[in-house]
Amino acid sequence: MSRIELAPEVGDDFDRILDYLAQYQVENPVLRIREIIEALNVLEHNPLIGRPANNGKRELLDIVFILAVRGQREAGYTGL
């Protein structure tokens, strides 16, 4: 199992996301942040995450560093 570590700047990202959610009056913004954190935790527990290695195994990291959290639009996502 990998360990998840968040960079200190991720706190600023969550503040920015909460501000965005408040601006658009999204219902239950704290729940939205919790959902993001749960999605990050998948990196810790999912055995199929990791690059393929020999003999059908996966190569996993000991520590996963989350440097930033960005929305799709912030990351330049424009859809398919």
Report the pLDDT value the prediction gives residue 45, as an integer from 0 to 100: 75
- Strands annotated E in the chain: 3-6, 51-52, 58-59, 63-66
CA 51 to chain centre: 18
Q: What is the β-pairing status of strands 3-6 and 63-66?
A: parallel
Per-residue pLDDT of the chain (80 residues; tens, 9 = 90+): 778 899 999 999 999 999 988 998 989 988 999 999 998 888 777 766 777 888 888 777 788 888 999 877 776 767 65
pTM: 0.70
Half-sphere exposure of 49 (CA within 13 A, CB side): 13
List the beta bridge partners of residue 65: 5
Report the pLDDT value the prediction gives residue 44, as an integer from 0 to 100: 78
